[in-house]
Amino acid sequence: MKPNPYIDENALMETRRALKLHCHELIDLIFRNRYGIKLLLAASQCLETIADYKANRSGNCVQKFPLTTQEAEKLEAQINN
């Protein structure tokens, strides 16, 4: 594939790295919250939806995390008791 002369590939890659780091920091912030399981599950589902969209364009599929919102609520209830 021929590089596009109008795109600064280095700047693009640096921006992508910065966004990846930012997303990881947000996930860590949610993870540190004792009751953040539903938030992590929602974040996971959003990322899976986006990844599925991109994967379906190339004929691949994304593995889903095996936990539903209802199961997450049960886990939180167990933590609270």
- Tens-digit pLDDT profile for residues 6-61: 888 899 999 999 999 999 999 999 999 888 888 898 888 888 888 888 777 665 67
Domain total of the chain = 1
How far apart CA 15 and CA 70 sit, in angstroms, is: 36
Q: Is residue 1 part of a domain?
A: no
Q: Is residue 40 part of a domain?
A: yes
Kindly state the tokens that stand for 41. Answer: 């599950």
Q: Is residue 19 part of a domain?
A: yes
Tell the residue number behind the tokens 């209802």, with chain if given: 70
Confidence at residue 37, expressed as pLDDT on a 0 to 100 scale: 86
Residue 21 CA: distances (Å) to CA of 14, 43, 44, 53 = 11, 15, 16, 22
Containing domain of residue 69, as a range?
9-80
Q: Is residue 70 part of a domain?
A: yes
Residue predicted with more confidence, 36 or 1: 36
User: Sign of dihedral through CA atoms 8, 12, 13, 18?
Assistant: positive
CB 30 within 8 A of CB 39: yes
